[in-house]
């Protein structure tokens, strides 16, 4: 099975994660997919294949170097797709030799992937693209990464003239809900360092990510008959709205880029009696990140000064910037850059405006930068992946294995 066929097969599995189930994996479809992959890896003849009860699948391509010790390098991708849009009954198609015009994804529903709205499409003119039918996401995040890793390992097995050390691969659940690394057994994985194949467009190489936290702000009101509510009613929704507008207007995702952090309101649920706001807090700089959390707590105190006891907040850190763990080992970034150049790819070293499992794994003792998997417009109906980008990602994995194998 070639890389494209492998990817098209993988996206058929419905593996959306769900943060409300409190299980690992959070949805049964992820385990179904993991078992399928385990069986394929067994057919390929990989060693040390394990699949635990939490849906963490690991395997080894043994070293073919016998005269010296070579570091063990890992490659990781996640099984789940985003809960932001349906991943059930994904129906991809290939747009051959893309000509730069709008792509009709679903004529009946009037859904069009247009370069006017997504100008990055024009970067891939003349290439074959895999797109959705407009009713689901595609799942290149991160089934492209899985397909690339499996295909690269297969290629190395078919080309024993490429000398490489031990290669460890892992596919984990629940990255999209921030839990992918929580039960990842770093010691059992046994790699000296690893790469997540979970980035976006071709060339991306990332070892800086947001520091991240979530905040749940609860407002409690008092409901009485609106005709007799004067000086009695406390409408929690109105107080929540007051809180929302107290935060800096321009420090939101739609107004920030690069290293700029933000507060992002992701959910509002409310009645007169109770309203709950859910935020995510992001910043690359650790000090600014801590100040952002303190600002939310300060605003809660201000609300409570006006409406005593009305407001409470719960803040939970999610992950931290991996840079502090990767920077002392910059040779692993140098290796990835050199691998890209050998594969004919221009490296684009940039911060992640998000997070990967690699961020948490880096703090668990496994330095783990992020490499492009090739997809764009993740988490929605306009997601697409250029086939040449997937091919290049696979080649980068092969070249990393070759470079590490050359190390003395």
Q: State the span(s) of the chain assigned CATH 3.40.630.10.
A: 3-208+321-406
What's residue 367's pLDDT? 96
* Domain 3-208+321-406 superfamily per CATH: Zn peptidases (3.40.630.10)
Question: How many angstroms from the chain centroid is the CA of residue 151?
Answer: 20
Q: How confident is the model at residue 308 (pLDDT cuts 50, 70, 90)?
A: very high
394, two tokens: 């696979």
Question: Stretch 221-234: mean pLDDT, rounded?
Answer: 94
Q: How confident is the model at residue 135 (pLDDT cuts 50, 70, 90)?
A: very high
Q: Which residue has the tokens 């990835």?
A: 336
DSSP readout, 242-287?
HHHHHS-TT-SGGG--TT--EEEEEEEEE-SSEEEEEEEEEESSHH
Q: Is the peptide bond before 380 cis (omega within 30 degrees of 0)?
A: no
284, two tokens: 């690359």
Strand (E) or helix (H) holding 313: strand 311-319
What's residue 319's pLDDT? 87
Residue range 169-222, pLDDT digits in tens = 999 999 998 889 999 999 999 999 999 999 999 999 999 999 999 999 999 999
How would you classify residue 295: left for phi > 0, otherwise alpha for psi between -120 and 50, otherwise beta? alpha
Mean pLDDT across the chain: 96
Active site residues: 80, 175
295 in helix, strand or coil?
A: helix
What's residue 92's pLDDT? 97
Question: Stretch 59-68: mean pLDDT, rounded?
Answer: 95
141 vs 48, 175, 278, 380, CA distance in Å?
Answer: 26, 10, 24, 11
Q: How confident is the model at residue 1 (pLDDT cuts 50, 70, 90)?
A: confident
Residue range 327-366, pLDDT digits in tens = 999 999 999 999 999 999 999 998 888 778 898 999 999 9
Phi and psi angles of residue 211, each rounded to the nearest 5 degrees, phi first: -75, 140
What's residue 318's pLDDT? 86
CATH of domain 211-319: 3.30.70.360
Q: Is the pLDDT of residue 232 over 80?
A: yes
d(CA 264, CA 353): 13
Q: State the span(s) of the chain assigned CATH 3.30.70.360.
A: 211-319
What's residue 93's pLDDT? 97
What's residue 353's pLDDT? 86
215 vs 175, 182, 300, CA distance in Å?
Answer: 19, 19, 12
Q: Is the pLDDT of residue 13 over 80?
A: yes
């Amino acid at each position: 099975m070639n890389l494209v066929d492998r990817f098209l097969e993988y996206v058929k599995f419905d593996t959306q994660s769900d943060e409300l189930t409190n299980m690992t994996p959070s949805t049964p479809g992820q385990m179904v997919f993991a078992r399928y992959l385990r069986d394929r890896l067994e057919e390929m003849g990989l060693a040390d294949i394990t699949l635990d009860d939490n849906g963490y699948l690991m395997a080894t391509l043994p070293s073919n170097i016998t005269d010296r010790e070579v570091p063990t390098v890992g490659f990781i991708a996640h099984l789940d797709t985003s809960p932001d849009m349906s991943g059930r009954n994904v129906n991809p198609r290939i747009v051959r030799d893309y000509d730069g015009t709008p792509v009709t994804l679903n004529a009946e529903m009037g859904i069009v992937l247009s370069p006017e709205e997504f100008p990055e499409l024009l970067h891939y003119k003349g290439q074959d693209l895999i797109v959705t039918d407009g009713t689901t996401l595609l799942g290149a995040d991160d089934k492209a990464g899985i397909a690339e890793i499996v295909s690269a390992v297969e290629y190395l097995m078919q080309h024993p003239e490429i000398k490489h050390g031990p290669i460890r691969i892992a596919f984990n659940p629940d990255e999209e809900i921030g839990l992918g690394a929580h039960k990842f057994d770093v010691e059992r994985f046994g790699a000296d360092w690893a790469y997540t194949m979970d980035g976006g467009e071709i060339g991306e190489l990332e070892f800086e990510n947001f520091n991240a936290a979530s905040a749940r702000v609860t407002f409690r009101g008092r409901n009485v008959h609106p005709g007799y509510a004067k000086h009695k009613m406390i409408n929690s929704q109105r107080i929540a709205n007051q809180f929302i507008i107290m935060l800096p207007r321009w420090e939101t995702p739609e107004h920030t880029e690069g290293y700029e952090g933000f507060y992002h309101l992701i959910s509002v649920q409310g009645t007169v009696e109770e309203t709950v706001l859910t935020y995510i807090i992001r910043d690359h700089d650790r000090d600014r990140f801590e100040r952002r959390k303190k600002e939310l707590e300060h605003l809660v105190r201000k609300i409570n000064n006006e409406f005593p006891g009305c407001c409470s907040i719960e803040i939970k850190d999610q992950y931290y910037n991996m840079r502090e763990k990767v920077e002392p080992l910059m040779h692993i970034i140098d290796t990835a850059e050199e691998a890209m150049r050998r594969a004919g790819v221009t490296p684009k070293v940039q911060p992640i405006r998000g997070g990967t499992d690699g961020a948490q794994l880096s703090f668990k003792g496994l330095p783990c930068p992020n490499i492009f998997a090739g997809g764009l417009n993740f988490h929605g109906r306009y997601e697409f992946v250029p086939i040449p980008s997937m091919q290049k990602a696979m080649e980068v994995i092969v070249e990393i294995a070759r470079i590490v194998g050359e190390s003395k």
